[in-house]
Structure 1
Amino acid sequence: MTNAAPPAAAVPGLAARAGAVRTSPVREILALTAHPEVISFAGGLPAPELFDADGIRRAYDRVLTEEPRRVLQYSATEGDPDLRQTVAERLARRGLPTRADDLLITTGSQQALTLLSATLVEPGDAVLVEDPTYLAALQCLGLAGARVVPVPTDEHGILPDRLAETVARERPRLLYLVPTFQNPTGRTLSAARRAAVARVAAEQGLWIVEDDPYGELRFQGTREPWIASFADAADRTVLLGSFSKIIAPGMRLGWLRAPAMLRRACVIAKQAADLHTSTVDQAAAARYLADADPDLHIARMCAAYRERRDALLDGLAWALPPGSSWNRPEGGMFVWARLPDGHDATALLPGVVEHDVAYVPGAPFFAGPPDPATLRLSFTTHPPVEITKGLTRLARAFGV
């Protein structure tokens, strides 16, 4: 007679917050449109042919030749001193006095959002966002257990009076927003509205997370001041930036500028997450910014992106159903469009993909009730000829 082994106990389930976070439809659409014949307006991807691959290679070659022992070793959590100094100088030239010690280098600005969620948000805390807002921010805040509360917007961004009402009602911990060339809408908040947001934060007591990955991609118009530059909000604003749009996203480099108390907490959270961002990538970025002419490179990208934006805007009148509307962003990577009432951009997408073209439906970007007729179109990835070809396919898919 043999003794039967006891039945195995069930495997413990996932944490509740992990099951509550929705997947990214942008990533799912990118997987569907990975075939080379597809012209995709879905992903917010920089144009790969515009990467300064030669300049980046020279930067890596130089740091690996001159300082191999340093750049291949562990390094400080706060980040490469030369890179932080360079970022500080770039911010100061644009009107925001900054010291290297005010900055923390992160593994993409997405990690900065994760660090801030870990250091500022308790499960159940209210966090305010523009409606619609950056999808990955909704994912990050959801994983932290935040109660995400939408604030109404119009074609010029967040509405300060509605923000004040929502803050008074919800008593949030923080407000997250992308005030310049917002993802997904491409909208830019005016200086007057930025000042009003700063006043609300000062008077009612909340943190502001000002995410600025697109600010240097301006094609026309006048640069708006950072919210972090307003005296009312200087002690409670965290400014996030990224090298993904101006050098290359594959390097996964971003930065966080924050008041000392919060920055120290983020350093500890980062130590628990990854110890530090890649030493060699930081050193190469610092060398690239010192040796190359990044502003000239950015100007070339902006000129190319402006042509691509114009090609997209010129074709939407005949590519979208009659009665559609869209905005005209002064920079960034996205156009926000709306189909006529009764159209559902999500339901229409599978038929659109069958025509080897794609967009991102707007609904997933809303924290509140979504507008199903909205969609996001990225214009940066393809040259004008391909954009026109993609719009021809889009018109065919919509039957116009």
Structure 2
Amino acid sequence: MTSDLISFARGAPSLDIVDIDGLKAAADAALTTDPGGATGYGTAIGYPPLRKFLAEKHGVAEEQVLVTNGSMQADAFLFDELVEPGRAVVVERPTYDRTLLGLRQRGADVRAVTLDTDGIDTEELAALLESGVRPTFAHVIPNFQNPAGYTLSAAKRARLVELAEAHDFIVFEDDPYVQIRFAGEPLPTMLELDGGRGRVVYASSFSKTVAPGVRVGYLVGPADLIARIRVRATNTYISPNMLAQAIVYRFCVDGGLERSVATVNAALRERADVLCDALAKHIPDARFTKPDGGYFMWVELPDGVNVGELLTAAEQRGVTFVKGTDFLLDGGESTLRMAYSGVRTDQIEEGVARIADALGSLRVSAG
């Protein structure tokens, strides 16, 4: 492997687009204005001012919000509360690999429903429900989905909420990328469309907009569900990282979040453009849909390409990505996820060219 590894594998912003100065100022403000709250244990609800800020942002009561150590912790608490061994849970096909892992570890009967370029196939889901399957919840990443980069359409959002009401299940709206939009118009959340009926649990994160290292995420849901999860949180860690949450709060209210989102979105728009152009140039038979935001793009290579062999050959040439098979229960042998968030613009074409060279070597070997 060459020493200058180009990585399309990690869904994280590169350091050059993280607002370090803004975070320094936010940390100083947090420790100056509320040293006790920022450095104390606190409670499992999270840092109270941030919880209130999020409740106001989503138009819900504070009792409906729980702030956690990253959205993956929020996911884990929700899964622990809702997953019943042997009972169905719906996911998108493909979906985030950690979601699959968490659900399978808890014994869920995972039912994967096709993901189209405009989101989960709601009519396939409707047919599954009509067949008698009764899921506890459907896990959906509505904006710039991980791993595919696709966005759930407005019509499908409304249809999902309708199906949840008709068939008595919860929509788990996992939405960490919602603010990373660089094309098109924002769409209403399913939490908003639900109108307080309690059919939607919403999760998001500041890892993608502030910095991954802050590890601040949150859940919004029915007050009784959040109260039960709060007990789990108390028994897990007494309280989450109050200092990080206090810094994030000051970053938000002092204008840092708006500046950070603008910086990240401008950079990722450029990176997505360069990636699409490089794929079209170097791997013209690759199929992909240019994303309107987020960190990721799903790439389909011609049938017969073994993505495991391709990854090995690519890493020998100093470039890496994540195999599409990691995000699926089965299939996907010719697919891959490319994250453009953590790679500089000047590295992208070189990285794609290395993948193309690796692909060419496999084709030569196949003869």
Normalising TM by the smaller chain, what interval?
Answer: over 0.9
| Greater shift in the superposed pair: 300-309 or 49-58 | 49-58
Q: Which residue in the other structure is 2:287 paired with?
A: 325
**1:336 counterpart = 2:298:** yes
- Give the secondary-structure state (helix, strand or coil) at the position aligned to 1:74: coil
Q: Structure 1 unaligned runs (5+)?
A: 1-32, 92-96
Q: Which amino acid aligns with 1:296?
A: R
Q: 2:39 aligns with which of 55, 72, 85?
A: 72
Task: State how far apart, in whole Å, the 2-side matches of 1:370 and 1:70 are.
Answer: 49
Partner of 2:365: none
Aligned partner letter, 1:133 = T
Partner secondary structure for residue 228 of structure 1? helix
CA shift digits 1:204-252 (9 cap, x unpaired) = 1101100000010000101111111113774111000100011111111
Correspondence 1:1-400 to 2 at 5 A:
37-91=4-58, 97-168=59-130, 169-231=132-194, 234-320=197-283, 322-367=284-329, 369-399=330-360
| Contact 2:43–2:234 (8 Å) recurs in 1 | no
SS in 1 for 2:293: coil
Q: Deviations along 1:43-94, whole A, 9 cap, x unmatched?
A: 1111211111111112222333443333222101111121112223333xxx
In the TM superposition, residue 256 of structure 1 has moved relative to its aligned partner by 0.4
Give me the whole-angstrom Cα distance separating, in 2, the residues matched to 1:109 and 1:194.
21
Closer/same/farther in 2, CA of residues 233 and 100 from structure 1, 3 Å limit: closer
In 2: Cα distance, 1:134 partner to 1:233 partner: 27
| CA deviations over 1:346-392 (Å, ceiling 9, x no partner) | 2211011000011111011013x222111110111122111122122
Contact 1:202 1:232 in 2 (8 A): no
C-alpha separation between the residues in 1 aligned to 2:103 and 2:274? 36
Aligned to 1:7: none
TM-score normalised by length of structure 1 = 0.86
Q: How far off is 1:125 after superposition? A: 1.5
Distance 2:255 2:189 in 1: 26
CA contact (8 A) 2:66 2:226 kept: yes
**One-letter identity of the residue aligned with 1:56:** L
Structure 2: gaps of 5 or more residues: 362-367
* 1:318, distance to aligned residue in structure 2 (A): 2.5
> 228-237 or 239-248: which moved more?
228-237
State the number of aligned residues.
360
CA deviation string 1:132-190 (max 9, x = no partner) = 11111111112222111111222222111111122233211111010110000000010
- Cα RMSD (Å): 1.7
